[in-house]
């Protein structure tokens, strides 16, 4: 059954409340203290059955005693008491709640039943959690948060969503100068999941970018719809995904499944949603900071300036590893930069401007401005600050003022990179952000962030796609059946895939007759529904060139299968590819293209695309393979028929989409790509289908 996007709840009152009810003792008191500390200027109404006051405010015995329906509520009571409080809040018309208590779905069957009761108690009222730390709205000064945190009020910032309260707490302690507008934790996501949080944050004009820490995606269709909303509103999304997809241990019979791992499918899913995936918390924070200051970068050309040749080399090496371009300056640009420097300085990119002009703000301004005038997408100044407790950093002010002036004059994007994260003090980072300059902590993280921001720009140009197929599956080993190669090829041929001229026979005499009719050399295979990998059991014989060879091979292979397949040999292949389709039970169908043949799993050279992929996406994926060099013509050999290869992949995809309700996995390996103009032929094919119809 198609799993369309769930309707996302309205979180506006919950996340931006003017009145808050807090239920409980210790944790409720801490929420009040945090609200007071941050300067929340709305109403706060404690709820407690026995206390007269809580944190200097009169307490109310019941929800019914409150002066009005609160916009938001924090439930700091135990898991059983939360049921009644949740029901009363919902009945009163509360805008939303945070369910702090644990012991629900994460605690086994009894907890799952209790969580279902909590959802029923809430009715139409949205809530975060349970098993959830809550949220902090730093833009309006609203911390529904039962603990200390390291953030402060901001006027504009990034929104961060995580399923982990502890990771959220840690992220608030960052000292990198990243302005955080929202920190939202989701816990068990009983009602509000990633999709709902993305949609809510994307609609706040003060949110510059969204960062997601993802453990699992429970509503892929809703997630995609929310991501599209964010992209249309110009809010880039960065994801830090941990673990593997919900597929868990998958049942596989094809080579495709060995190459297309669950985590690779998550990559493809996020990419299709125009979400940049990064690895590691430091890169996550640096990317969000760059997006906050500059937005997505329109390209990958960067320049670097430093007063050290060693730092210049480090930047150059790290940039090349990440696919960033440190292009050379042209003659006019070189002359313009050289005119600002002493004669002993050699002009290049990266630029080592030496220390001749260190401390000379006017001279540095001219050098930096000339470099930035060359039109790079990001210009970096490598500058580690001295530790303020032991050193004087006054000279660094001259350099920063020079860079700020140069950036304003040129209109270019600038960043300051401290090679050591601890050499970028928080006060310096915040001042740079305020000046529109990105303060990067660490060379590797800086360049990872630049590459991610360039990816975000490319993704932002995409059109919405509404034709993805997400079908959730209940699958067991008993529910799968493997289609014979003969039937698989004929089915694929019906969707436009070229296959060799072949005959299905049952005995050696018929095999010889078929080989004569087809023309030598031929391939002979044992086929049947239970044969997946013929080479592993010796069920294939190749390059049979006469009657005797065919007869002998037929006698050897007959006991291995249900029938014999005689096929024409493809003798002029330029390259062998694998084309496959793999199904993630939660995320849907994915397309694999890769270098094929018997070494496919050993080489592991594949690209994963979410189905349906476009012709352009498929062509780019094929060109990026190691086999792409063969397709382009390697060392004087003829180029392969790239157009036919793309057509073949599209044919495989066409079959997959037409049979999406039952398809589990599909494997064409090898796809023999012949010289340009001669086509591409599927030498082998495997299809695994689900016997049962789909269900949630």
306 and 368 in a single domain? The answer is: yes
Q: What mean pLDDT comes out for the span 377-404?
A: 93
In a domain, 249, yes or no: no
Per-residue HEC secondary structure of 494-542 comes to CCCCCCCCEEEECCHHHHHHHHHHHCCCEEEEEECCCCCCHHHHCCEEE
Between 469 and 571, name the one with better pLDDT. Answer: 571
Please check whether residues 215 and 78 belong to one and the same domain: yes
Beta bridge partners of 180: 158
User: pLDDT band at residue 249, thresholds of 50, 70 and 90?
Assistant: very low
Q: What pLDDT score does 217 carry?
A: 85
CATH number for the domain spanning 511: value is: 3.30.1490.20
Q: Read off the pLDDT band of 474 (50, 70, 90).
A: low
User: Which stretch of DSSP H or E encloses residue 31?
Assistant: helix 26-38
Structural domain includes residue 268 = no
> Are residues 560 and 594 both part of a single domain?
no
Return the minimum-mean-pLDDT range out of 197-201, 223-227, 228-232, 528-532: 528-532
CA distances 293 to 25, 430, 468, 635, Å, are 41, 11, 33, 47
* 3-class state of residue 135 by DSSP: strand
* Mean pLDDT, residues 232-247 taken together: 81
Residues 361, 230, single domain; the answer is no
Angle made by CA atoms 127, 186, 197, in degrees to the nearest 5? 75
Range of the domain at 581: 575-690
Residues 388 and 505 occupy one common structural domain: no
- 250: confidence class by pLDDT, cuts 50, 70, 90: very low
User: What is the pLDDT, as a whole number, of residue 7?
Assistant: 75
- Percent of the chain residues topping a pLDDT of 70: 91
| pLDDT tens-place string over residues 57-69 | 999 999 999 999 9
Q: For the CA atoms of 167, 169, 173, 174, what is the dihedral angle to 10 degrees?
A: 30
Residue spans of alpha helices (H) in 297-442: 309-321, 331-338, 361-372, 394-410, 426-434
* pLDDT number for residue 246: 46
Q: What tokens appear for 448 in the block?
A: 């990872």
- Local confidence band at 355 (pLDDT 50, 70, 90 cut-offs): confident
Does residue 422 carry a pLDDT above 80? yes
CA distance 500 to 520: 13
The CA distance from 133 to 522, in Å, is: 67
Contact 438, 432 (CB under 8 A): yes
The tens digit of pLDDT for each residue in 509-525 reads: 999 999 999 999 999 99
The string of DSSP letters for 446-499 reads HHHHHHHHHHHHHHHTPPP------B-----GGGEEEEPHHHHHHHHHTTT---
Q: Which pLDDT band, with edges at 50, 70 and 90, does 658 fall under?
A: very high
Pairing of strands 142-144, 135-137: antiparallel
* CATH of residue 588: 3.30.470.20
> What percent of the chain stands above pLDDT 90?
76
Provide the token pair at 410.
Answer: 């040129």
531 in a structural domain = yes
Q: Which of 81, 87, 74, 62 is nearest to 28 (CA)?
A: 74
Same-domain check for residues 564 and 585: no
Nearest to 584 by CA among 223, 247, 214, 218: 247
Residue bearing the bigger pLDDT, 428 or 597:
428
pLDDT in tens, 607-635: 999 999 999 999 999 999 988 888 999 88
Q: In terms of domains, do 445 and 546 share one? A: no
Q: Is the pLDDT of residue 253 over 50?
A: no
pLDDT at 598: 57
Higher pLDDT residue, 36 or 527?
36
pLDDT at residue number 254: 43
- What tens digit of pLDDT does each residue of 555-568 get? 999 988 889 999 99
Give the per-residue pLDDT at 394.
87
Strand partners, 618: none
What is this structure's pTM?
0.88
Q: Per residue in 87-125, pLDDT tens? A: 999 999 999 999 999 999 999 899 999 999 999 999 999
- Indicate the residue among 509, 543, 568 that finishes a domain: 568
Maximum C-alpha span of the chain: 100
Residue 2 lies in a domain: no
In the three-class reduction of DSSP (H, G, I as helix; E, B as strand; rest coil), residue 648 is classed as helix
Residue 161 CB neighbours (<10 A): 26
Task: Check residue 248 and give its pLDDT.
Answer: 38
562 lies in the same domain as 579: no
Count of Cβ atoms closer than 10 Å to residue 535 Cβ: 11
User: Would you say residue 238 has pLDDT above 80?
Assistant: yes
Residues 28 and 1: their CA atoms lie apart, in Å, by: 43
Classify residue 430: in a domain, yes or no: yes
Express each pLDDT in 356-374 by its tens digit. 888 899 999 999 999 999 9
CB of 28 closer than 8 Å to CB of 76: yes
Number of domains in the chain: 4
Lowest mean pLDDT among 4-8, 450-454, 586-590, 631-635: 4-8
19-24/72-76 β-pairing: parallel
Instruction: Report whether pLDDT(259) > 60.
Output: no
Burial class (CB in 10 A: 0-12, 13-18, 19+), 222: buried
Q: How does strand 606-610 pair with strand 588-595?
A: antiparallel
Residue 589 buriedness (CB in 10 A; 0-12 / 13-18 / 19+): buried
Residue 6: the pLDDT is 67
Task: DSSP for 216-249, please give it.
Answer: --S-HHHHHHHHHHHHHTT--EEEEE-S--TT-S
Q: Is residue 179 part of a domain?
A: yes
Q: Mind listing the pLDDT tens digit for each residue in 116-156?
A: 999 999 999 999 999 999 999 999 999 999 999 999 999 99
Domain edge (last residue) among 534, 552, 568: 568
Note whether 579 and 557 are same-domain residues.
Answer: no
Peptide bond into 102 cis (omega under 30): no
Q: What is the pLDDT of residue 661?
A: 87
Is residue 551 located within the same domain as residue 589?
no
CB under 8 Å to 282, separation ≥6 — which residues?
A: 421, 441, 442, 445
What are the tens digits of pLDDT across the range 494-510? 999 999 999 999 999 99
Residue 696 and residue 597 in contact, taking contact as beta carbons nearer than 8 Å = no
Computed over its alpha carbons, how large is the radius of gyration of the chain? 31
Q: Considering 521, 542, 568, which residue would you say is the last residue of a domain?
A: 568
Peptide bond into 612 cis (omega under 30): yes
> Over the stretch 630-646, which tens digit does the pLDDT of each residue have?
899 988 789 999 999 99
The arithmetic mean of pLDDT across residues 261-284, rounded, is 90
Arithmetic mean of pLDDT, 338-363: 91
Same domain, 406 and 534: no
Residue 233 has pLDDT above 70, yes or no: yes
- What pLDDT is stored for residue 539 in this prediction? 85
> Are 94 and 236 in a shared domain?
yes
CB atoms within 10 A of CB 224: 27
Residue 258 lies in a domain: no
Task: State the chain's mean pLDDT as an integer.
Answer: 90
Residues 6+ apart with CB under 8 A from 643: none
Asked, for residue 266, whether it belongs to a domain, the answer is no
């Amino acid at each position: 059954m198609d799993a369309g996007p769930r309707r996302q709840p309205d979180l506006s009152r919950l996340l931006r409340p003017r009145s808050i009810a807090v239920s409980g003792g210790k944790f409720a008191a801490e929420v009040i203290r945090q609200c007071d500390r941050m300067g929340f200027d709305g109403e706060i109404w404690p709820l407690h059955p026995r206390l007269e006051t809580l944190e200097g405010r009169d307490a109310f015995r019941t929800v019914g005693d409150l002066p009005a329906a609160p916009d938001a509520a924090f439930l700091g009571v135990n898991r059983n008491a939360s049921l009644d409080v949740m029901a009363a809040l919902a009945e009163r018309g509360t805008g939303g709640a945070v369910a702090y208590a644990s012991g629900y779905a994460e605690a086994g069957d009894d907890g799952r039943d209790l969580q279902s009761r909590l959802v029923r108690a809430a009715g139409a009222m949205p809530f975060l959690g349970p098993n959830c730390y809550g949220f902090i709205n730093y833009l309006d000064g609203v911390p529904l948060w039962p603990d200390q945190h390291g953030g402060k009020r901001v006027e504009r910032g990034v929104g961060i969503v995580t399923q982990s309260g502890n990771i959220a707490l840690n992220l608030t302690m960052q000292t990198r100068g990243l302005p955080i507008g929202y920190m939202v934790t989701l816990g068990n996501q009983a009602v509000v999941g990633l999709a709902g949080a993305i949609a809510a944050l994307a609609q706040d004009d003060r949110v510059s970018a969204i960062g997601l820490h993802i453990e699992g995606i429970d509503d892929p269709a809703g997630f995609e719809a929310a991501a599209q909303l964010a992209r249309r509103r110009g809010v880039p999304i960065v994801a830090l995904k941990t673990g593997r997809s919900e597929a868990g241990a998958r049942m596989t019979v094809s080579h495709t499944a060995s190459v297309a791992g669950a985590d690779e499918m998550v990559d493809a899913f996020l990419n299709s949603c125009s979400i940049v995936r990064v690895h590691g918390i430091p890169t996550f924070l640096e990317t969000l900071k760059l997006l906050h200051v500059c937005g997505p970068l329109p390209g990958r050309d960067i320049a670097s300036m430093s007063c050290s040749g060693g730092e210049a080399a480090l930047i150059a090496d790290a940039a090349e590893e990440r696919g960033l371009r440190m292009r050379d300056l042209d003659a006019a640009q070189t002359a313009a930069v050289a005119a600002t420097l002493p004669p002993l300085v050699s002009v290049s990119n990266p630029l080592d401007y030496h220390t001749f002009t260190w401390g000379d703000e006017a001279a540095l301004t001219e050098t930096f401005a000339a470099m930035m005038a060359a039109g790079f997408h990001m210009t970096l100044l490598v500058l580690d600050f001295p530790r303020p407790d032991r050193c004087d950093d006054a000279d660094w002010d001259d350099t920063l003022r020079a860079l700020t002036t140069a950036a304003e004059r040129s209109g270019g994007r600038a960043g300051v990179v401290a090679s050591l994260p601890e050499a970028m003090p928080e006060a310096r980072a915040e001042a740079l952000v305020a000046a529109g300059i990105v303060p990067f902590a660490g060379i590797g993280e800086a360049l990872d962030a630049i590459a991610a921001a360039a990816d975000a720009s490319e993704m932002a140009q995409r059109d919405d796609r509404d034709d993805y197929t997400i079908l959730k599956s209940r699958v067991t080993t008993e529910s799968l059946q493997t289609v014979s190669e003969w039937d698989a090829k004929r089915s694929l041929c019906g969707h436009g895939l070229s296959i060799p001229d072949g005959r299905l026979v049952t005995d050696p005499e018929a095999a010889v007759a078929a080989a004569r009719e087809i023309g030598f050399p031929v391939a002979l295979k044992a086929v049947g529904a239970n044969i997946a990998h013929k080479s592993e059991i010796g069920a294939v014989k190749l390059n049979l060139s006469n009657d005797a060879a065919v007869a002998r091979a037929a006698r050897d292979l007959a006991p291995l299968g249900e029938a014999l397949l005689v096929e024409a040999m493809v003798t002029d292949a330029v390259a062998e590819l694998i084309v496959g389709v793999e199904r993630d039970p939660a995320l849907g169908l994915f397309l694999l293209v890769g270098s094929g043949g018997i070494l496919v799993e050993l080489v592991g050279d594949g690209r994963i695309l979410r189905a349906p992929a476009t012709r352009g996406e498929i062509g780019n994926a094929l060109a990026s393979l190691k086999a792409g060099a063969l397709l382009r013509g390697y060392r004087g050999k003829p180029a392969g028929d790239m157009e036919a290869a793309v057509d073949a992949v599209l044919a495989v995809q066409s079959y997959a989409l037409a049979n999406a309700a039952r398809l589990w996995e599909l494997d064409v390996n090898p796809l023999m790509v012949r010289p340009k103009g001669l086509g591409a032929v599927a030498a082998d094919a495997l299809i695994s289908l689900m016997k049962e119809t789909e269900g949630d």
